[in-house]
Amino acid sequence: MIRSFLFLLPLLISQFSLFAAEPVELEIELDLDLVFNISHFKGNSSRLIIWLPSEHGVSRGMSSVAGKISELNSHVWLVDLHSSYMVPASRYSLSEFPISDLMALLSHAEVMGFDEIYLLSAARGAKMVLDM
């Protein structure tokens, strides 16, 4: 059993590097009053995952996971809504983010040429995504 695992270990390591991909910091301005702060983890496809935070905001662990996802050939936009709107993370902070602005971000992603766009969130952020 151990030999089998040691044989598979190089295969697993080749699928995931030990270090997550480094993001490119984007500022997407959709109107004069709003600039979305986004960490873009580049993939090798026309697929984009827009990761919206929960009410707790963006955590350090999210960047690591986003980097790993991008290694599987998907672009990932980790959107820091709280800093974009200058709203502190709290239980009801997501109510400060207009759905129309998030829809505009989604439309912007389509204009940029992404064929497949997926929305990702957790906790109260999932309700926000469903409202879109």
What one-letter code names the amino acid at 26?
A: L
What pTM value is reported for the model? 0.80
The H or E element spanning position 93 is none
DSSP characters over 78-128? EE-HHHHHT----TTGGGGS-HHHHHHHHHHHHHTT-SEEEEE--THHHHH
- Maximum Cα–Cα distance for the chain, whole Å? 61
Q: How many CB atoms lie within 10 A of CB 132?
A: 14
pLDDT at 20: 52
Task: Render pLDDT for 65-97 as a digit per residue (tens, 0 to 9).
Answer: 999 999 999 999 999 999 999 999 999 999 989
Lowest-confidence range among 9-23, 69-83, 114-128? Answer: 9-23
